[in-house]
Chain A
Amino acid sequence: DAGVTQSPTHLIKTRGQQVTLRCSPKSGHDTVSWYQQALGQGPQFIFQYYEEEERQRGNFPDRFSGHQFPNYSSELNVNALLLGDSALYLCASSDWGLWASGGSNTGELFFGEGSRLTVL
């Protein structure tokens, strides 16, 4: 099991452009969360997807949107990029859906290695 995989690993964009980041969850996981980690900061929660719907959202503007596919993989889209969007974007998967459906879960997030976005 490769665990959580993300692509691309690095990318450079200019202000105003749009970017799409991709994530494949760990085998057996049904829930994907996205975090933004600015330099010198801890990860900050963006949103969480389960059953192809956004279930929880952090304090991020609507420029940040996402999608989850039937195979549980996910995309993060950021429109109208700003310099301040430069960060490491982390994807994390879990079996949160198991809890949501009344089962138990491991309570653990598994993180990918991240996609480093630089906005010039």
Chain B
Amino acid sequence: AQRVTQPEKLLSVFKGAPVELKCNYSYSGSPELFWYVQYSRQRLQLLLRHISRESIKGFTADLNKGETSFHLKKPFAQEEDSAMYYCALSLSGAGSYQLTFGKGTKLSVIP
């Protein structure tokens, strides 16, 4: 069965410092990977997906199939980046919306 691991429950960084939120997955096929974000008092929303190869709010994530990782990165953290971040995996080739989520990492950006 597929699994998503986010090893850090909490990550604190200073404003302007680089950020890397780790995500590893286990799945034998070719999954589609996502990052979802939940800001305080807001609903869960899509941040980015690997197939679109976009940079959203300065965040990027590269799918590394060899290391089965999809780490989220941003070169300079901003206070408004403080939120809960979830990595998620969708089964391949089906436009499937059956997502498997990790437990999430809470990012706290210190002013």
A101 CB to closest chain B CB, in angstroms? Answer: 11
Taking residues whose C-beta sits less than 8 angstroms from the other chain, chain B's interface range is: 20 to 34
Q: A80-95 interface mask toward B, CB cutoff 8 Å, 1 = contact, 0 = none?
A: 0000000000101010
A1-40 with Cβ < 8 A to chain B: 3-4, 31, 33, 35, 40
Q: Report if A99 contacts B (CB, 8 A).
A: yes
Interface membership of chain A positions 93-117, coded 1 if the CB is closer than 8 angstroms to chain B and 0 otherwise: 0101001100001011111111000
Q: List 14 A-B contacts (CB under 8 A).
A: A3-B43, A33-B97, A33-B98, A35-B99, A42-B88, A42-B103, A43-B101, A45-B98, A45-B100, A56-B96, A58-B98, A109-B97, A111-B43, A111-B45
Give A residues with C-beta under 8 Å from B.
3-4, 31, 33, 35, 40-45, 48, 56, 58, 90, 92, 94, 96, 99-100, 105, 107-114
What is B's interface to A at a CB cutoff of 8 Å? Answer: 4, 32, 43-46, 49, 51, 86, 88, 95-104
